[in-house]
Amino acid sequence: MKTVQYQLIKNGLKNFKKGAGFTLIELLLYTAVASTMLLMISVFLSFLLESRIKNQTIAEVNQQGLQAMQLIAQTARNAEAIASPAQGASASSLALDVTAIANDPTIFDLASGAIRIKEGINPAVALTNSRIAASGLAFQNLSRAGTPGTVRIQFTITHLNPEGRNEYSFTKTFIGSATLRQP
């Protein structure tokens, strides 16, 4: 009985050794499936990376634009008067007569693609960073006689895209207004 079991085990091992491994067709098929899966995963990851960069670009443009708009509007609200542009006129810079004598006048303008603020005799300081370009800065004095001054603010912010890649391409126009609190 033991001899028969031994023979069966021995024959089973022989048969197993003969059938072990993969055929060339099976190996090619597995390689093709694995390559297709890797390609799909890499395309998906590339798409995710591009989407993340696009979202960061949009967020940066929005953050820079809102920050500049809020600072200009807040400064205008706290000013004593609008020195320039004249009532009913438009200009590319805004000069405000502010309460702090050391900061008088406070001027907002555009130079080299950056929105700047100049307070009194201090040098101008950029409100936007070097990764974006501002353009079309315009101020319109909407004031009427006997009312506190009102100024309309408009500018466009574009994310710089020297390589021409789609995910870095984004432009937004910001429009706002501010009315002086003090007549």
Place of tokens 């008067």: 81
Assess whether pLDDT exceeds 90 at residue 13: no
Could you read off the pLDDT of 35-59 as tens digits, one per residue?
A: 999 999 999 999 999 899 999 999 9
> Over the chain, what HEC string results?
CHHHHHHHHHHHHHHHHHHCCCCHHHHHHHHHHHHHHHHHHHHHHHHHHHHHHHHHHHHHHHHHHHHHHHHHHHHHHCCCEEEECCCCCEECCEEEECCCHHHCCEEEEEECCEEEEEECCCCCEECCCCCEEEEEEEEEECCCCCCCCEEEEEEEEEECCCCCCHHHCCEEEEEEEEECCCC
**Binning pLDDT at 50, 70 and 90, where does residue 34 land?**
very high
pLDDT value of residue 167: 86
